[in-house]
Structure 1
Amino acid sequence: MQAQNLKPGDLLQSPAGPAQITGIRLFHADGTTYDLTIGALHTFYVVAGSTPVLVHNCDLALGWRTKGTSKWASDNGFKDYINAPNDGWRTPVERQIGDPNVKLHVNMTGWTTDFEGAVRNGLTEAGGLATETEMGWIARAVSKGQRTWDSVNFYRADANGDIVPIVRPTEPVWSDFGKLAPVDSKFTMCMCDGAVDWGE
């Protein structure tokens, strides 16, 4: 669940057991923030002041099967579903794209179009190539507020063949793609190694 959707009465998990939200207050401030990742741990508590906070890190790699995406994902500790049999990648990838707790890493190596072209191909009835379908899901998730544009990172192979970060494309005007439905993301638990199974 995204923090913006929390409301008084909702229950959250704390180290001592369930904790009920009693009130909501918006707070805006400029300040330094940090992205904390701890080795192979994906879920852990940190202490903010005197309050324990549950943190969950998960990274999902997307990109063409034939362009080294799976090896790159493995080398960087990212999850990928490139070798899932048949269409076994579809449900977990769509749900993780809709989960704002999952960082997306898109390898654009080998693409014959830009991000917006991939989205257009992925939003067709036929769905385009698998990676284009995933880009369509990203467009749907960002346009419907399920994740932010800056939670999507982009990469491409350099002259040495190394997959390296590139400048994030300018955020598209989502309304240019027509009316978009949200991504099917009923669960907010990623499929990282050691994570709780979706039960499907």
Structure 2
Amino acid sequence: MAPVYDLTVEGVHTYFVAVGSTDFLVHNCDTTDMYRVSPVGRGSDEADHGLDPANFPRNDELDGAAHFGNLERVEDFLITHGETHGQGMRVSVPNSWIEDREIETWEGIDETMVEYVIPRELFGEFNNPPRSRWVPKGRS
């Protein structure tokens, strides 16, 4: 996975970034960091390559969606699922994408926890925002 940098220029909405001999026009936008820990069997595949719809079947028991959360929600999830889920990832998703696609959110055990439900039909788009490996608290 190539390094990803989150750059915000205070007070400037649109600016150029030079990468080698190529300039890119970029702009600031509000984002939400979403976190996920993948099942142990998938290793770092989701963090490195994005979500694969084949890993998210839709049937009587499963909704065919990937579940992400804010940091508090995912760390709470790991308390009871730490043996079955391992590699963490963080995705910085534009708030406009979340709103325009009407991403379903669930409240957690308390008001500090939020879960985001990303339907498999949106994985192609969802795999575009910058994502990076994330090491959950208490793991090395």
TM-score (norm 1): 0.24
TM-score (norm 2): 0.31
Bigger relative contact order, structure 1 or 2 (CA pairs below 8 A, ≥6 apart): 2
Choose between structure 1 and 2: higher strand proportion. 2
